[in-house]
Amino acid sequence: MSDADVLAALHALGLRAGRDALQAWLAHATQSRLAPVQVVEGLIDVERRVRAATNLARRTRTAALGTIPALDGFDWNHPRRIDRPLYETLLGLDFVRAGENVLLRGPSGVGKTTLAQNLGVRALTQGRHVRFTTLAGCVADLLKQESSPALERRLRRYTTPDLLVVDEIGFLPCEHRAADLLFTIISRRHEKRSTVITTNLSYKEWSSVFPGAACVVALVDRFAQHCHVLDIDADSWRQKASRARRK
């Protein structure tokens, strides 16, 4: 059987590794005179790495994290107050394994979204399913569903990921139905899956985002029950950069 026949047979068996990768391994195995078991082990390793990379790429697309500033570029000396040890502990993802939540709270432009996105990246690299959304985007997506079955199907987009990041709670007021939808998501994830929320508001101010909604107290109660709170006291990075440019 020629090399081409062997490669064709491997792909027919369902191997996803590319032709070049398989050919390189077979050439190495032949040159090194590896034992049959070693050849098979090598093929398994090649295939496992290809599948892991494909899986990560698919989960990354689904996560919709957008453009992510690198965490090593985050200026920890800029905020007047931030609990860096807490954040570095969160990067270990014990909170995801425990089904706990994270609240990133501070004024606009202090890096809340960057920190939330990087928690999502860390979860992706550890094989987790992640979904990133703004509150406005999530609500608009759900409200455009035209039937109850369609809404139930779309809700799974937000209730099933291991880690859900909801960005920008408090920047725009929402109608009371938005509160009901967010309450549904948080309730279904409660003590099962982790949610990260970024906001510029204290819990008691959430009612201003959902005026007239009766479920806000219950929403906060469920989210805050098992929640790590990271408060950021800082001036806006964007304003700082703007002043620097003017100077």
CA distance 47 to 141: 37
Q: What confidence score (pLDDT) does residue 119 get?
A: 98
Long-range residue pairs from 57-64, CB within 8 A, at least 24 positions apart, any chain? 59/124, 59/128, 59/129, 59/130, 60/124, 62/129, 62/130, 62/131, 63/120, 63/124, 63/129, 63/130, 63/131, 63/132, 63/161, 64/131, 64/132, 64/133
Structural element, H or E, at residue 169 = strand 163-169
Between residues 82 and 40, the one the model is more confident about: 82
Q: Which of 139, 146, 79 is nearest to 112 (CA)?
A: 79
Whether the per-residue pLDDT at 162 is higher than 90: the answer is yes
CA distance 67 to 183: 28
Confidence of residue 140 (pLDDT cuts 50, 70, 90): very high
Domains of the chain, earliest start first: 3-63 (no CATH), 71-246 (3.40.50.300)
* pLDDT tens-digit readout, 88-111: 999 999 999 999 999 999 999 999
Q: What average pLDDT does range 51-64 have in this prediction? A: 94
Q: If you search the block for the tokens 């709670």, which residue do you land on?
A: 169
CA distance 163 to 119: 9
Q: Are strands 194-199 and 227-231 parallel, antiparallel or unpaired?
A: unpaired
3-state helix, strand, coil in the chain (%, to 5): 55, 10, 30
Q: What is the pTM of this model?
A: 0.88
Confidence of residue 243 (pLDDT cuts 50, 70, 90): low
Q: What average pLDDT does range 114-128 have in this prediction? A: 98
* pLDDT tens-digit readout, 28-54: 998 999 998 998 999 999 999 999 999
Q: What confidence score (pLDDT) does residue 26 get?
A: 86
User: Residue 164: beta bridge partners?
Assistant: 131, 195
HEC profile for 26-50?
HHHHHHHCCCHHHHHHHHHHHHHHH
